[in-house]
C-alpha cells in the first residue's frame, strides 16, 4: 500500500521538481519570459515510511495553502510559492542529508519538517549552520524550539511535549487515574516527554507516575513494558509512541482479559500513520484516547470551508472526516499562510529577513484559530495550553474529539 | 701282528709322542681357545641380532613410516577439518552476531535518534569489539555509509579505513549483506556489511560494516583461509596442503572461503630427531644385551665342552687312566659327554682286550712261528717240486719246439737234400733228351721228365710255403684285369676238365683291380686246381660278383664236398680229405695252405661253404678299394721271350759235382762255354787262366766249409773289377727251403734261383746275361717277366 503510494507520489514529485527546475533554469539562462520566479518552500518529510500519513498530510496542507496564496497573487508581488519535497523515512541521516541539499537552493525560503522529533533534533545543527528557516507543523519535542539558537531559525505551530504531558496527566487525573505509568519511545522524543512529565509532576502529589518503561524503535512487542507498568500499579498508561508501535500495544492489550486492560492516554504520534488500520478491531476493545491540538469537527464550518474547498479541488478532501492526520494538514496550512505573510512582510526571499518577519507577522486569521501574532521574538511556539483536546478513534477510523 | 706296533701303548696309555704335536693343545692355547666358542656364539648371535634388528627395523621403519605418513595425512586432514569447523563456527557466530546486531532495536533507534548516542549506542557497540574472542572492527553507518558510531576499534591496527567505507557505500545500494576479502598491509581481512532493514522503508536505512583479520578466524596456527579470488600460495617442497571448503552463512558464501592447512609431507623432523637417537640407543642397548647374554649363555653352554676339551687334553698329555667326563643335563653336549664316556669305555675295553690278547698272541705267535717254519719247509719242497715240474715242462716244450723245429729243419733239409739230386736229374734228363733226339728211348725220357716235373712241383710247393712263412714275399701291386686271369685259367684248365669229364667255365668279367697279379692268379689257380681235383662229375664255375665294399671271386664245384668237421682244417698243410692213400694224382695237400697264406698276405679273406657229395664253393673276398679303373692290359705279360742263347762264358760254382756237371753240360749244350769250379778259390784260379771274363756267374748258395755262394760271387766280382772287367750277371742258386736261408740269400741283392732249375730257366739266364751286356750292374734285378714254366717262378723276386 505504501509502495503503491510511493509509486504514485514519485511522478508527482518529479513534476514538482520540474515545475521548479524549469523556471530556475530559465532564470539562469537569462530573464524569464514566462511569469515570475517562484518562491521555494520545501518539505523534508517521512515520505517512504510505510503506513505513515503525516508527511502527506503536511504536504497537502502546504499545497492547499500555496494554492490559496498563489490564487490570491502569490507573494512578493506576484511570485508564486512552490513546494519541493524530500523524504527522510524518519531516518535522521536522511533528514540531515536533505537539509544539506535543500539549504543550497538559493530561493528556498523555509523547510517544513515532520513528524519525527528526533529527526528534527538531529537536523538542528545543520539548520543552524546553514541558517535555514525551519517550520515544524507536527514535531513536538521541546528541544526543537528550545534549541539555544540565536537567532532561532526554528518556528513551530504544533503540540509541544511540555504542554502535552501535563495535559495528559491532568486528563488522567481528571478521570481518577492518579497512578499512571509512562511508556516511552527510547528516543529524543521520549526523553523530551519524560522531562516534560517530570517537570509537571515536580512538587505535585497527584497524579503520580508509578513507573517509566521504554521501548526501542522497531520493538516487536510492548506488552512486557505494559505488564511491568501494570504490575507497578499503574491505573493508566501514558503512551509516547508512533502509530506502528502503538498499534502493537493496542493489539496486545486487547488480547488481555478486559480487567487488565488499562486506559491508554496517548501522545499524538499515533495519528501520523495508519494506526487504525494496524490496530484493527482491537482498538475498540481498548480505552484509547489521544491528545490533539485541533479537530476539524470543532472548527467552525465557515472557517474550514474555504480550505476544504481548495483541498477538495486538489485532493478530494471535502469533509472533515476526509482529512487524514488532521493536525498535520491544518498546522501545515496555517503555517504556510503565516510564512507567506512573513515573506511579504520581509519583502525578500532572504531567510534571515523572513525569519525576522515571522517573529513580527500578525495578526493572522487561521483555520485552527486566529493568531494575533503567531510568533514573537523569544516565542517561536504558535500554540499554547488552550489549544489541547483529547480525541478518540471511531470505529470507522475517524478521529473525533472526546467530550 | 707280529711286527712292532707303533701305536700300541706300552702300559695301556697312549704315548704322547704318538700324537701329532699339533693335536695337543698347549695350556696357553687352551687358555686362548677357552671361551672362543662362546665368543663365536655371542658374535654370531650379535650378528644375527644386528641382522634381525636391521631387518625388523627396516620393516618397521617402512611399515611405520607408511603408517605414520597415512596417519599424518589423516591427522592433517582431521586437523584441517577441525580447524575448518572451528573457523566455520567463528564465522557463523560472527555473521550471526552482526546480523542480530543489525536487527537490534538499539541500532534502529539510533538511526532515528542519534542524539545521546554516546550514552547508549557507543557503549553498546563497544561491547562488540570482540565477537567469539575474535577482534572485530565495527562501524555503524547511516543509509549512505556515513559513520554513526563504531565499536572503538578505529584506532588500532584493526581499523576501518576510507577504502573500506567506500566499499560499503558501493555495497549499500544493493540492499543486501555483502562480504569481501581485502588485503591491507600484508594482512587479509574479511570485510562484510550487514544492512539495517526497517520494515517500513524500501531500502536499508543503515549498515553495519565489520572487519576481521582472516588470521584471527583460524585457530590452527598452520592453517590459513583462502578465498575465491586468491591464488593459493605455492606449496613448499616436502609440504602437503589440505583444503577444506567452509560451510558459512549465505552472506559469506560468495567468498568461497576455504581453509587450507599446510603441514610437512612427513611427520616432523623434531620427532625423528629424538626418535632416531632413542631408537639407536635402544638398538645398541639391545645388541649389547644380546652380546653379553649370548656370551654368558654360550659360555654356560660350552662349559661341558670345555671340560671335555680339558679331559681330552689331559688324556692326550697324561694318557688314559680311567678319566670320565661329567654329564650335565640332557642336551647335545651331555650326549657328547656320554658318547665321549662311551668312547673312553670302549678304549678301556679295547685296552683290556689288548692286554688279554697280548698274552694269547704270544702263545699263538709262538705256535704260528713253529707252524710257519714247518710250512716254509714244506713250501720249499713244493717249490722245488714245482720248479722241477716247470723245468720238465720247459724241457718238454723245448723238446716239442725242437721237434717242431726239427720237423721244419728236416723238411727244409730234406727238400734241400732232395733238390740237389733232383736238380742234377733234371739237368741230366734235359741233356739226355737233347742228345737222344729221335731215338726210340726218347719216349722214356719223356716219362722221366713227367715224373721229374711232379717231383719239382712238390718241391716248389714246399718252397712256396717256406717262403711265405719266411715273410720274404712282398706283393707287387698294379692294375690287374680279372677277366684276363679268368680267360687264361679257362684256357688252361678247360681241356684238363674235359679230360676228366667235367665242364669248366668262367663267367667273363671286365673288373679290374689293384693287386699283385701273380699272387692273385696263384690263389685262383690253386682254388681251381683244388676244385678240379675233387670233382669227378658235374662242372666247375669260376666267377666274380660285387658285394658291399667287396669283390667276391667264387669257384663252385659239384665235387665231393667237405664234411663240416673238416672245414677248419682244409687250409692246413698236407691236409687232404678222402686221400688217405696219399695218391699223388690228387696233389700234395699244399694248394689250399698256400691260398690261405697268400690271402692273408694280401689282406683278402677266403672262406668255404660246402655240402658233402653236393659240392663246394670257395670264396675269395677282396676289399673294394683294391678295385681300380680298367688299366692297360699288360700285353707284354703274356709275351714269351724265347730264350735265344748266344755265345758267352758262364762260371758255375757249386760244390756238388753232379749239379756242377749237369749245369755245365746244359750250358754247353746251349752253345755257351762253361767254367765249372767247386769253390770261390777254384773259380778265381780258373778265371785267372781265362782271357775273357765270364758273362754269367752261377753260384750255389751253400758251398764247402760254410762258405756261401754270395761270398764266392763277391770274390769273383772283386777279382774281375781288379782286372778292369765289368761285373757279370750273378745268380745265386739255392736248394735251401729254410726261411732264414732264403731271407739271407734274398738280402744279398743278387738274383736267386731255387733248385731244381729247369733247362729252360738256364737258357733264360744265358739270354739275360747277354742282354744285360755292358750294363750288367743294372741287370741285377731283372724283371720277372720271364715267368718260369713252373708255378714257383711266380714267387721269385
Region A132-147 average pLDDT: 92
Q: What is the model's pLDDT at position B413?
A: 63
Cβ contact, residue pair A92, B142, below 8 Å: yes
Chain A stretch 356-395, residues whose beta carbon is closer than 8 A to a beta carbon of chain B: none
Burial level of B564, CB count in 10 A (0-12/13-18/19+)? exposed
List of chain B residues whose C-beta atoms are within 8 Å of the C-beta of residue A52: 200
Q: Which residue has the higher pLDDT, B127 or A35?
A: B127
- The CA distance from B452 to B9, in Å, is 95
* Stretch among A173-187, A367-381, B310-324 having the lowest mean pLDDT: B310-324
How does residue B791 score in pLDDT terms, banded at 50, 70 and 90? very low
What are A169-185's pLDDT values in tens digits?
A: 999 999 999 999 999 99
Q: In what order do the strands lie in the sheet with A81-87?
A: A81-87, A39-45, A108-114, A133-136, A154-156
A49 touches B at CB < 8 Å: yes
Q: Is B236 exposed, middle or buried (0-12, 13-18, 19+ CB in 10 A)?
A: exposed
User: Cα torsion for B213, B219, B221, B226, to the nearest 10°?
Assistant: -50
Position B35 pLDDT exceeds 70: no
Q: Which of A70, A68, A100, A72 lies closest to A86, judged by CA?
A: A100
Predicted pLDDT of residue B641: 42
Q: Of all residues in chain B, what percent are helix, strand and coil, respectively (each to 5)? A: 55, 15, 30
Instruction: Give B285 or B295, the one with higher predicted confidence.
Output: B285
Q: Does A52 touch chain B (CB under 8 A)?
A: yes
Average pLDDT of chain A, as a whole number: 88
Lowest average pLDDT, out of A207-221, B412-426, B690-704, goes to B412-426
> What are the φ and ψ backbone dihedral angles of A303, each rounded to 5 degrees?
-80, -35
B621/B604 Cα distance (integer angstroms) = 6
Residue numbers in B near A51 (CB within 8 A): 200
- Least confident segment among A22-31, A376-385, B252-261: A22-31
Whether the upstream peptide bond of residue B435 has omega within 30° of 0, thus cis, is: no
Tell me the nearest-neighbour CA distance from A187 into chain B, angstroms.
6
Measured between beta carbons, the chain B residues lying within 8 angstroms of A219 are 105
For chain B, give the longest Cα–Cα distance. Answer: 207
pLDDT at position A27: 43
The residue among B100, B139, B200 with the most chain A CBs within 10 A of its CB, best to mutate, is B200
- Put simply, the answer to whether B200 touches A3 (Cβ < 8 Å) is no
Residue bearing the bigger pLDDT, B671 or A307:
A307
How many angstroms from the chain centroid is the CA of residue A397? 19
Of B112, B114, B146, the CB nearest to A90: B112
Estimate the share of chain A in helix, then strand, then coil, as percent rounded to the nearest 5: 50, 20, 35
Q: Provide the pLDDT for residue B319.
A: 75
Which pLDDT score, from 0 to 100, does residue B587 have? 58
Which one has a higher pLDDT value, B338 or A45? A45
User: Of the given ranges (A303-312, B432-441, B485-494), which has the lowest mean pLDDT?
Assistant: B432-441
Asked if the Cβ–Cβ distance from B148 to A2 is below 8 Å, we say no
Q: State the pLDDT at residue B774.
A: 47
Mean pLDDT for the stretch of residues A131-142: 92
pLDDT of A90 reads: 86
Are the Cβ atoms of A91 and B144 closer than 8 angstroms? no
Task: State whether residue A185 is helix, strand or coil.
Answer: strand
- Name which residue leads in pLDDT, B173 or B587: B173
What strands, in cross-sheet order, belong to the sheet with B539-546? B503-506, B539-546, B550-557, B615-623, B605-611
Helices B303-318 and B269-301 sit at what angle, rounded to 10 degrees?
40
pLDDT at A138: 93
Cα→Cα distances A238→A171, A208, A389, Å? 11, 12, 15
Contact at 8 Å (CB) between A264 and A250? Answer: yes
- Beta strands A264-266 and A288-292 are parallel
ipTM over 0.85? The verdict is no
Contacts of B116 in chain A (CB under 8 A): 188, 191
Residue from the list A3, A50, A216 with its beta carbon closest to the beta carbon of B109: A216
Contacts by A251-257, CB closer than 8 A, 24 or more apart: A251/A279, A251/A280, A251/A282, A252/A221, A252/A222, A252/A223, A252/A226, A253/A223, A253/A226, A253/A282, A253/A285, A253/A286, A254/A281, A254/A282, A254/A283, A254/A285, A254/A286, A255/A282
Q: Enter the C-alpha cell of residue A346.
A: 520581509
The pLDDT of residue B407 is 63
pLDDT over 50 at B797, yes or no? no
With residue B653 as reference, give the H or E element that holds it.
Answer: strand B649-653
Nearest to B113 among A48, A50, A92 (CB): A92
Average pLDDT over chain B, rounded to whole? 77
Which pLDDT score, from 0 to 100, does residue B228 have?
80
Closest CB to A187: pick one of B112, B142, B198. Answer: B112
| DSSP state string for B204-255 | -SEEEEEEEEGGGG--STTEEEE-TTSPPPPPPTTEEEEEEE----HHHHTT
CA atoms within 13 A on the CB side of B113: 21
Does residue A271 sit at the B interface (CB-CB below 8 Å)? no
Q: Choose the closest CB to B112 out of A52, A116, A191.
A: A116
| More confident site: A27 or B268 | B268
pLDDT value at A163 more than 90: yes
Task: Please state the rounded mean pLDDT for residues B322-338.
Answer: 77
Largest Cα separation within chain A, whole Å, is 73
3-class state of residue B147 by DSSP: strand
Number of other CB atoms surrounding residue B533 within 10 Å: 18
Q: What percent of chain A has pLDDT over 90?
A: 66
Say yes or no to pLDDT of B233 above 80. no
Written as nine digits, the cell of B553 is 671271386
DSSP reduced 3-state for A111: strand
Q: Which pLDDT score, from 0 to 100, does residue B574 have?
A: 66
What whole-number percentage of chain B has pLDDT above 70? Answer: 83
User: What is the least distance, in Å, from the CA of A166 to any CA of chain B?
Assistant: 24
For residue A23, the tally of other CB atoms under 10 A from its CB is: 19
Is residue B125 within 8 Å of B208, Cβ to Cβ? no
> Where do the H-state alpha helices sit in A30-160?
54-71, 92-103, 117-130, 142-145
Q: What is the structure's pLDDT at B19? A: 46
What CA–CA distances, in Å, run from A247 to A151, A236, A239, A268? Answer: 40, 17, 11, 13
Question: What is the model's pLDDT at position B630?
Answer: 45
pLDDT of residue B500: 84
Lowest-confidence segment of B118-127, B285-294, B611-620, B769-778 by average pLDDT: B769-778
SS3 category, B128: coil
pLDDT at residue number A334: 94
Type and span of the H or E element at A133: strand A133-136
Alpha-carbon span B704 to B706, nearest angstrom: 6
Residues near B603 by Cβ (< 8 Å), separated by ≥ 6? B623
Instruction: Convert the pLDDT of each residue in B80-95 to its tens digit.
Output: 888 888 888 888 888 8
- C-alpha to C-alpha distance for B142 and B165, rounded to whole angstroms: 11
Beta bridge partners of B619: B554, B607
**pLDDT > 90 fraction of chain B, expressed in percent and rounded:** 1
Give the pLDDT of residue B64: 74
Q: How confident is the model at residue A288 (pLDDT cuts 50, 70, 90)?
A: very high
Q: What are phi and psi of A353, to 5 degrees?
A: -65, -45
Nearest to A91 among B105, B199, B205 (CB): B205
Most A CBs within 10 Å: which of B201, B203, B205, B206, as the mutation test of the A interface? B201
Query: Which chain A residues are closer than 8 Å to B197 by Cβ?
Result: none
Cβ atoms of residues B712 and B679 within 8 Å: yes
| DSSP-assigned letter for residue A234 | -
C-alpha torsion B222→B226→B232→B237, nearest 10: 10
- Chain B interface includes A221 (CB < 8 A): no
pLDDT for the residue B329: 76
The yes-or-no verdict on residue A58 having pLDDT over 80 is yes
- On whether the CB atoms of residues B767 and B645 are closer than 8 A, the answer is yes
Q: Taking 70 as the threshold, does the pLDDT of residue B781 lie above it?
A: no
Which residues of chain A are within 8 Å of residue B120 when distances are taken between CB atoms? 186
> Which tens digits make up the pLDDT trace of B621-678?
888 765 554 444 443 333 444 344 457 888 888 887 777 877 887 787 777 888 888 8
Please tell me which of the candidates B112, B116, B200 has its beta carbon nearest to residue A51: B200
Q: Is the pLDDT of residue B280 over 90?
A: no
Q: ∠ CA A172-A175-A179 to the nearest 5 degrees? A: 50
pLDDT in tens, B520-555: 888 888 888 888 888 888 889 888 888 777 888 989
Amino acid at each position: 500500500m505504501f509502495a503503491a503510494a510511493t509509486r504514485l507520489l514519485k511522478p508527482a514529485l518529479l513534476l514538482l521538481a520540474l515545475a521548479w527546475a524549469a523556471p530556475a533554469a530559465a532564470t539562469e539562462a537569462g530573464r524569464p519570459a514566462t511569469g515570475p520566479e517562484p518562491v521555494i518552500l520545501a518539505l523534508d518529510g517521512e515520505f517512504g515510511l510505510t503506513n505513515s500519513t503525516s508527511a502527506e498530510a503536511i504536504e497537502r496542507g502546504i499545497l492547499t495553502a500555496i494554492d490559496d496564496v498563489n490564487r490570491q497573487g502569490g507573494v512578493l508581488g506576484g511570485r508564486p510559492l512552490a513546494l519541493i519535497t524530500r523524504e527522510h523515512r524518519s531516518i535522521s541521516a536522511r533528514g540531515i542529508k536533505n537539509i544539506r541539499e535543500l539549504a543550497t537552493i538559493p530561493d528556498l525560503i523555509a523547510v517544513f519538517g515532520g513528524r519525527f522529533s528526533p529527526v528534527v533534533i538531529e537536523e538542528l545543527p545543520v539548520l543552524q549552520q546553514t541558517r535555514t528557516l525551519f517550520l515544524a507543523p507536527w514535531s513536538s519535542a521541546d528541544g526543537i524550539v528550545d534549541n539555544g539558537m540565536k537567532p532561532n531559525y526554528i518556528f513551530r505551530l504544533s503540540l509541544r511535549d511540555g504542554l502535552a504531558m501535563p495535559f495528559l496527566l491532568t486528563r488522567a487525573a481528571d478521570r481518577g487515574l492518579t497512578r499512571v505509568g509512562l511508556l516511552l519511545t527510547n528516543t529524543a522524543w521520549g526523553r523530551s516527554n519524560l522531562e516534560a512529565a517530570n517537570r509537571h509532576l515536580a512538587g505535585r502529589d497527584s497524579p503520580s507516575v508509578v513507573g517509566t518503561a521504554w521501548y526501542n524503535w522497531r520493538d516487536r512487542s510492548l506488552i512486557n513494558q505494559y505488564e511491568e507498568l501494570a504490575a507497578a500499579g499503574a491505573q493508566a498508561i501514558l503512551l509516547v509512541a508512533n502509530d506502528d508501535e502503538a498499534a502493537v500495544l493496542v493489539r496486545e492489550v486487547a488480547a488481555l482479559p478486559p480487567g487488565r486492560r488499562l486506559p491508554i492516554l496517548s501522545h499524538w504520534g499515533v495519528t501520523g500513520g495508519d494506526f487504525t488500520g494496524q490496530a484493527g478491531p482491537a482498538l475498540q476493545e481498548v480505552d484509547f484516547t489521544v491528545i490533539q491540538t485541533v479537530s476539524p469537527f470543532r472548527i467552525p464550518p465557515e472557517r474550514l470551508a474555504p480550505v476544504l474547498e481548495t483541498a477538495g479541488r486538489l485532493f478530494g478532501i471535502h469533509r472533515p472526516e476526509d482529512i487524514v492526520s488532521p493536525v498535520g494538514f491544518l498546522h501545515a496550512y496555517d503555517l504556510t499562510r503565516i510564512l507567506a505573510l512573513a515573506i511579504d512582510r520581509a519583502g525578500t526571499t532572504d531567510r534571515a529577513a523572513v525569519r525576522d518577519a515571522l517573529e513580527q507577522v500578525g495578526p493572522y486569521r487561521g483555520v485552527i484559530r486566529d493568531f494575533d501574532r503567531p510568533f514573537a521574538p523569544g516565542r517561536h511556539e504558535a500554540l499554547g495550553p488552550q489549544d489541547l483536546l483529547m480525541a478518540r478513534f471511531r470505529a470507522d477510523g475517524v478521529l473525533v474529539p472526546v467530550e | 701282528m707280529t711286527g712292532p706296533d707303533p701305536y700300541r701303548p706300552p702300559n695301556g696309555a697312549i704315548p704322547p709322542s704318538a700324537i701329532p704335536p699339533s693335536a695337543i693343545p698347549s695350556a696357553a692355547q687352551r687358555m686362548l681357545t677357552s671361551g672362543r666358542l662362546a665368543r663365536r656364539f655371542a658374535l654370531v648371535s650379535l650378528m644375527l641380532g644386528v641382522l634381525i634388528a636391521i631387518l625388523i627395523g627396516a620393516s618397521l621403519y617402512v611399515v611405520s613410516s607408511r603408517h605414520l605418513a597415512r596417519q599424518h595425512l589423516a591427522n592433517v586432514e582431521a586437523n584441517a577439518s577441525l580447524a575448518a569447523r572451528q573457523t566455520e563456527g567463528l564465522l557463523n557466530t560472527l555473521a550471526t552476531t552482526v546480523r542480530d546486531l543489525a536487527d537490534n532495536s538499539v541500532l534502529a533507534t539510533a538511526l532515528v535518534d542519534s542524539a545521546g548516542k554516546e550514552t547508549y549506542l557507543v557503549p553498546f557497540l563497544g561491547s562488540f569489539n570482540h565477537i567469539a574472542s575474535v577482534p572485530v572492527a565495527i562501524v555503524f553507518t547511516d543509509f549512505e555509509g556515513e559513520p554513526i558510531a563504531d565499536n572503538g576499534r578505529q584506532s588500532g591496527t584493526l581499523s576501518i579505513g576510507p577504502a573500506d567505507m567506500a566499499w560499503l557505500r558501493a555495497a549499500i545500494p544493493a540492499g543486501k549483506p555483502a562480504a569481501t576479502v581485502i588485503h591491507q598491509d600484508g594482512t587479509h581481512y574479511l570485510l562484510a556489511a550487514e544492512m539495517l532493514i526497517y520494515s517500513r522503508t524500501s531500502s536499508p536505512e543503515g549498515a553495519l560494516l565489520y572487519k576481521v583479520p582472516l588470521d584471527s578466524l583460524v585457530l590452527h596456527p598452520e592453517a590459513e583461509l583462502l578465498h575465491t579470488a586468491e591464488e593459493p600460495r605455492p606449496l613448499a617442497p616436502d609440504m602437503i596442503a589440505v583444503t577444506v571448503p567452509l560451510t558459512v552463512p549465505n552472506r559469506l558464501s560468495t567468498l568461497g572461503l576455504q581453509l587450507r592447512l599446510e603441514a610437512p609431507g612427513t611427520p616432523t623432523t623434531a620427532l625423528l630427531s629424538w626418535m632416531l637417537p632413542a631408537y639407536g640407543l635402544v638398538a645398541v642397548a639391545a645388541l649389547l644385551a644380546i652380546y653379553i647374554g649370548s656370551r654368558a649363555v654360550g659360555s654356560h653352554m660350552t662349559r661341558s665342552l670345555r671340560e671335555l676339551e680339558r679331559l681330552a687334553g689331559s688324556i692326550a698329555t697324561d694318557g688314559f687312566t680311567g678319566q670320565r667326563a661329567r654329564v650335565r643335563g640332557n642336551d647335545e653336549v651331555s650326549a657328547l659327554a656320554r658318547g665321549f664316556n662311551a668312547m673312553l669305555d670302549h678304549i678301556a675295553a679295547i685296552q683290556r682286550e689288548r692286554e688279554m690278547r697280548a698274552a694269547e698272541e704270544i702263545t699263538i705267535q709262538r705256535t704260528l712261528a713253529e707252524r710257519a717254519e714247518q710250512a716254509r719247509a714244506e713250501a720249499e719242497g713244493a717249490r722245488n717240486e714245482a720248479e722241477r715240474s716247470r723245468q720238465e715242462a720247459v724241457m718238454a716244450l723245448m723238446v716239442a719246439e725242437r721237434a717242431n723245429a726239427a720237423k721244419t729243419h728236416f723238411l727244409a733239409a730234406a727238400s734241400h737234400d732232395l733238390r740237389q739230386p733232383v736238380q742234377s736229374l733234371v739237368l741230366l734228363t734235359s741233356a739226355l733228351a737233347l742228345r737222344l733226339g729221335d731215338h726210340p728211348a726218347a719216349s722214356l725220357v719223356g716219362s722221366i721228365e713227367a715224373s721229374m716235373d711232379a717231383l719239382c712241383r712238390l718241391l716248389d710247393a714246399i718252397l712256396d710255403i717256406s717262403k711265405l712263412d719266411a715273410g720274404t714275399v712282398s706283393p707287387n701291386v698294379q692294375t690287374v684285369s680279372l677277366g684276363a686271369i679268368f680267360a687264361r685259367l679257362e684256357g688252361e684248365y678247360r681241356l684238363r676238365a674235359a679230360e676228366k669229364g667235367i665242364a669248366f667255365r668262367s663267367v667273363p668279367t671286365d673288373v679290374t683291380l689293384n693287386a699283385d697279379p701273380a699272387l692273385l692268379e696263384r690263389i685262383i689257380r690253386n682254388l681251381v686246381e683244388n676244385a678240379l681235383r675233387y670233382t669227378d662229375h658235374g662242372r666247375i664255375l669260376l666267377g666274380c660278383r660285387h658285394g658291399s665294399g667287396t669283390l667276391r671271386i667264387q669257384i663252385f664245384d659239384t665235387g665231393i664236398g667237405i664234411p663240416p668237421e673238416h672245414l677248419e682244417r682244409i687250409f692246413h698243410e698236407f691236409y687232404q680229405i678222402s686221400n688217405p692213400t696219399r695218391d699223388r694224382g690228387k696233389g700234395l695237400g699244399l694248394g689250399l695252405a698256400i691260398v690261405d697264406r697268400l690271402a692273408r698276405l694280401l689282406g683278402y679273406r677266403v672262406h668255404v661253404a660246402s655240402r658233402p657229395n653236393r659240392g663246394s664253393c670257395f670264396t675269395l673276398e677282396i676289399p673294394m678299394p683294391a678295385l681300380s679303373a680298367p688299366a692297360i692290359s699288360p700285353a707284354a705279360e703274356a709275351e714269351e721271350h724265347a730264350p735265344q742263347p748266344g755265345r758267352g762264358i758262364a762260371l758255375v760254382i757249386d760244390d756238388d759235382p753232379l749239379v756242377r756237371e749237369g749245369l755245365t753240360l746244359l750250358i754247353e749244350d746251349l752253345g755257351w762255354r762253361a767254367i765249372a769250379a767247386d769253390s770261390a778259390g777254384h773259380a778265381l784260379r780258373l778265371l785267372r787262366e781265362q782271357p775273357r771274363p765270364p758273362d754269367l756267374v752261377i753260384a750255389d748258395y751253400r758251398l764247402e766249409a760254410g762258405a756261401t755262394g754270395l761270398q764266392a760271387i763277391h770274390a769273383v766280382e772283386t777279382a774281375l773289377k781288379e782286372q778292369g772287367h765289368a761285373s757279370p750277371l750273378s745268380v745265386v742258386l739255392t736248394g735251401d727251403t729254410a726261411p732264414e736261408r732264403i731271407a739271407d740269400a734274398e738280402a744279398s741283392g743278387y738274383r736267386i734261383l731255387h733248385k731244381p732249375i729247369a733247362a729252360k730257366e738256364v737258357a733264360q739266364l744265358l739270354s739275360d746275361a747277354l742282354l744285360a751286356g755292358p750294363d750288367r750292374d743294372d741287370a741285377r734285378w731283372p724283371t720277372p717277366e720271364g715267368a718260369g714254366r713252373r708255378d714257383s717262378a711266380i714267387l721269385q723276386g
